[in-house]
Structure 1
Amino acid sequence: MSFSVLRTSFRRAAVPPAAARTSKAFRSPAFRKYSTEVPKPEGAGKSNAALFAGLGLAVVGGVGFWIYSSDSNKAKEAGTAVRSGVQSAKAAANFTPTKEDYQKVYDRIVEILDEASDADYDDGSYGPVVLRLAWHASGTYDKDTNTGGSNYATMRFEPEALHGANAGLNVARTLMEKVKKEFPWISYGDLWTLGGVCAIQELGGPKIPWRPGRIDGFQEQCTPDGRLPDATQGAQHLRNIFYRMGFNDREIVALSGAHALGRCHTDRSGFDGPWTFSPITVSNEYFRLLFDEKWVWRKWNGPKQLQDAKSKTLMMLPTDYVLVQDKSFRKFAEQYARDQDLWFKDFANSVSRLFELGVPTSQWVSSEQWIMKSSDEN
C-alpha cells in the first residue's frame, strides 16, 4: 500500500506516543499563504518543462549515459559542464524556469519521499534523510572565507561525500538523482535544498521560504572535513560550528529542533535510535522530551549517548543534551518546549537562511522568496 493514501492532517495538535509509533507519517495542511509570484519572462507559457526536457537531451545520450552511469568525479564534473551548456542555451533563448516548474519538482519529490513506505525504509518516509542532505550541503559555509554552503553542491564529489558526518547520505543523493534525471535543468543545490523544504512541509512542519539560483560547482570547490557538528562534543563546539555560519544562540537551538525527525544508525554515525516517538512528524516534541523525560547514559558498546530512563527506546546525543545544560541555550529550548508556534516561526526563518548560505545575491532568480505548495494544498 502506498504511504501517500494514509495522510492525515493535524498540524498544530500534539502527537500521542501510541500514534507516533506507527510507520505511517501524518500530514498536515498548510496554514499560511504566500501571494508573491515570480514574474514570468515575456512570451513564456505556463510552463517550460517540455522545453527543458528537450534541452536536457544533451545529457541522456552518448556522453550523457557515461555521466549518469558513472560515480567518478570526472564524470560528475563533465555532467556539470554539459548542464552549464544547457543553462547557457536557455539563457540565450530567454527561457527561464517558472515557479510552476519548480513546483512540479517539489511534487515529484513528495512522491519519492512516500516510496519509503513500500521499501520498508526506517519509519516510513525518506523525509528525514533528504532533509539531512539539504542540511549538510548547506552547513559547510564559512562566513569569514565565504566558502562552502549550498551553492556548488560539492558533496557530489569525493572526498566531501566521504566525510564522516555525511555517512549514509548516499541514500538521499541516489533518491534525488531520480528527480534530477526527470528535471535535468535544475541545479543540484536547488534540488537538494528544495528536497529539504519538501521534507519539512510534508511531515507537518512550517512553510519554509525558498528560492532557486544555486549553480553546480566542481571538485576543487569541495570544503574541508570538520565543518559539520560532531555529536560527541559540547556547547562550545556547537557555537564554533554555528557562529562560523553566522547564527546566534537562539538560532542554534531552533535549528537543533530538526532532530524531531529521523533516527541514528549504527552503520552510519555509530549512534542508535530516534530522538522522539514520532520520528516522521515535525513538532516541538524534541524540546518537550528534553525536559519531561529523565535521561541517563546508555550502557552499550557504542559511542556515548543518552537514553530515556522510562522506555529506553529514545536517545539524545551529547550535543542535544547541552541545550538543557547550557544557560543560554536552555532558555530558548524551554520557550520552544512550551510554544510550538514560536519554534515553527524561528525554525522556518533559520532553515531558510541556512539553505541560502554561500549563494551570491546576484544569482537568485527572484528578489522575493517563494512558498511552495504542499501536497495537501494541491
Structure 2
Amino acid sequence: MQELILGRGARTEVYPVVSGTITEIVQREDGRVIIEGDNGVEYGYWHVNPDDRLRMGQRVVAGQTLLGVIGRIDNPHLHFDEDDGAFNPLRTQPQDAPHEGGLNPSATQSSPYLPVVHAPEFRRDGTAGPTAVYYTTRINNRILIYGKVDIIIQARERFDAQNGGSQRAGLYRMDYRIVDDTRDSDFGPFESFRFDFLYDVGQEVVPEVYAQDPGRMTNGPYEQGENVYYYVTTFNDVGEYRYWNTKQRIDSDPDDSARVNAEAIYKDGNYTVWVRGWNIRDIGGNEEERRGAEDEEVVIDNFRPYVHRVTIAQGEDEDRRTKYNAHWNFANEILTLTPDTQEGRRLPLYS
C-alpha cells in the first residue's frame, strides 16, 4: 500500500480523486472512507469526519461528491492511500484540475520544511535485517564498494506543523545518479521511485519508502522515534534488478558481470553517488544547495590487476626479435588469450 500524508486544516472539505463505490465508512471525528475506484484500485481517506449523507455502496464522483471534512485531531491532516496500480490521481495534469483543487497537498516550500535526504549508505545485496552487511571500509575517505550493491537512503517529507502536517510522510519521487570522478563522466539520473508508478517485483510492488512498522523494516536499520523512511534502490527503471551491479558488463543486463575491468560499465576508480528527493510540488533535488539532495563518495574496486599482453623478445635494438607475443581478445562474448608466433617458435607463457 502506498501512502501520502497531506497537511490541511481541520474542517477542510475532502472530495474523491477517483470515481467509484463506497466500501467502508467509519463515522467519527477521526474516521475514514474507503472507496473502490472504477479503475479497480482501492483508495482510503483517513482522519476524515465522513459526511452524514454517505451510505455504504453509494457511488461517488471524482471532485464532486463530498466525502466529509478533515477531523479535529492533533496536527490535522488527511492520510490518503492507494493499494495498487500505476495511476496516481494526484498528478496535476490539466484534465485533473478538479482533483488538484479538491485535494491539493500542503507541501511547504521553505526551509526547514524541505524534503529530508540523508547521505546514501551501501549494503551488500542479498543481506537484510539483523544480518545486513554494510560497506564501511574507507580509502582516502571514500567508501570501498564492489559487486552487487544496495543503495540505502534515509528520506522523508516534512510538513509545517502549523499546516497540520506530519513528519512521517514519504517523498513523492526520488532519483539517483552516478558520477565517474576518475574519467569525468556520469550515469543517470535513474528515477528510482515515484508515487504514481511503482516498479513491479514479480507480483509485489516495491514497499520500502512507506513502511512504518519496525517489524516490516527489512530493507535497512530502524531507530525508534526517527520517523525516517529507508529506501532501497531499484536499478535503472528495471524492477527485477533491485541492486546496483558495479561489475555490470557493457551492453548487458544489470545481472551480467564483466570478467575484466575493460568490459565493465563502471570501471574501477572513484565515483560520487547522488540521491535526490522531491515533494509533490517538485520542491527538492537541488544538489548545489543540498536541498533534498545528498551524496557520498565511493571507490569501486572489483578487479585485480591482470596482464593485458605478454611479449617475450631476444636481443637488443636492431637485433631484437620477438619470440612470443599474446594478448587477451574479446570477441563473440568470449574472452581468449590469442598468441602470435612471429618466428615459428611457440614458447610457453612462463618462459
TM bracket (short chain): under 0.3
Give 1 or 2: higher helix fraction.
Answer: 1
Give 1 or 2: higher strand fraction.
Answer: 2
Larger CA Rg, structure 1 vs 2:
2
Task: Report the TM-score, using the length of structure 1 for normalisation.
Answer: 0.21
Task: Report the TM-score, using the length of structure 2 for normalisation.
Answer: 0.22
Q: Which has the higher contact order (CA 8 A, sep 6+)?
A: 1
